[in-house]
Structure 1
């Protein structure tokens, strides 16, 4: 159990509130299947699967560390580890720093078993989320984060979610591009006008089978966007446009995720290439494009949006 902080203001807990917590616990354990004999239709219990997860996601670990972090009884953990060893999932070696401790590492077979469980867990979570509407998905993820923040002594940073565009989003895209590019780069309103024309064309000619806008939200606030649209002249080419990440959401890997979503969608839509237009001063975006496999194919010095820049074209072969 997490360590709960106490409030400075006393209050009374009534029976109906206790009953509500217990009812939620019963509901949620049924939904995620923790009462099944084997988690995710496997031979492993929830505790065993959690230990497997820790072993797979640590470079090295000891039984003492796992017992401490998962708050497991040492004897119970020892029985789980013996089961893994006898099944060929786990290996041990003596610790160089402390000969009384063993370093635990999954074997190749253990990694394969974990990989299968991990994929089943991802599939089950995706199936659950796909049963929700876009509005329900936002509320669901925010609700989980609210519960976690309320019970954790040190809340972790909220995650972001991606969704397709809806009414009002295009206004946000134009507004935030105008504000951010003026504040951070000193660009003139000409750039905001370009963005407005791009989003107007997107809405007027939207083809849901071959085009997509992703909007990123965090704590109920929009923090990013990206578009993938048809190239007006090349049938098998898509254009990546209007990648934007708010300063409050930078460092979370959101930019990379947005670009990756474009790549996956582009392949699924049958495009052979994605192209994009950017400028040399956008170092963070250029790094993301390079890491995603885009190649710089053309550059041209020009005076745009009130400043001297180098305009660049980058291509990704799918």
Structure 2
């Protein structure tokens, strides 16, 4: 069965997106409880104030299960730009093109809302994601070493400007 894209919240979204992040980043770089807690807390806050005229949340569904996500937080779009967040796919979806589909949906939303700037935070070493960001016009503008997630990484900020 082909994965489908769903826009907006579904019951279980917060927990599943937090789980996808926690499992992937724990295995990759050793992020633990502080990271998972922050993802869940900030995603829950985003969902509680979600405004479909300003914000976007897209979910990849496969056999009724959430297998990927991306969000655009437009609450500060007029200042620093729309914030691209919670972009992830499950192991079974990696390499299938759904990441590109998610990012295309988010960027089309930004265009439709006339968000001329968007940004995201990530860290060095996520080469497949970086390739997608750059394919969609994001450029690395800042980096610094950080340990806020429980492991030292080179944090990176990418920005898109139309």
Listed as ranges, the gaps of 5+ residues in structure 1 are 1-157
Asked whether the equivalents of residues 77 and 117 of structure 2 are also in contact (C-alpha less than 8 Å), the reply is no
Q: Of the two, which has the highest radius of gyration?
A: 1
Q: Corresponding residue for 2:6?
A: 163
Q: Corresponding residue for 2:63?
A: 219
**1:26-54 superposed Cα distances (whole Å, 9 cap, x missing partner):** xxxxxxxxxxxxxxxxxxxxxxxxxxxxx
Asked whether the equivalents of residues 177 and 244 of structure 1 are also in contact (C-alpha less than 8 Å), the reply is yes
**1:58-92 superposed Cα distances (whole Å, 9 cap, x missing partner):** xxxxxxxxxxxxxxxxxxxxxxxxxxxxxxxxxxx
TM-score with structure 1 length normalisation? Answer: 0.48
Q: What do you get for the CA RMSD once the two structures are aligned?
A: 1.6
| Residue of 122, 132, 137 corresponding to 1:293 | 137
Correspondence 1:231-270 to 2 at 5 A: 231-232=75-76, 234-235=78-79, 237-270=81-114
| TM superposition shift of 1:210 | 1.1
For residues 141 and 75 of structure 2, what CA distance do their matches in structure 1 show?
17
Q: When you count helix as a share of all residues, which structure comes out higher? A: 1
| TM superposition shift of 1:257 | 1.1
TM-score with structure 2 length normalisation? Answer: 0.91
| TM superposition shift of 1:184 | 2.8
| TM superposition shift of 1:236 | 7.0
Q: Corresponding residue for 1:130?
A: none
- Does residue 1:275 correspond to 2:130, yes or no? no
Greater RCO (Cα-Cα under 8 Å, separation 6 or more) = 2
| Residue of 194, 199, 211 corresponding to 2:38 | 194
Q: Corresponding residue for 1:304?
A: 148
Runs of 4+ in 1 over 3 A off after TM superposition: 231-236
Residues 205/289 of structure 1: CA separation in 2 closer, same or farther (3 Å cut): same
Asked whether the equivalents of residues 302 and 311 of structure 1 are also in contact (C-alpha less than 8 Å), the reply is yes
Total equivalences in the alignment: 161
Residues 272/170 of structure 1: CA separation in 2 closer, same or farther (3 Å cut): same
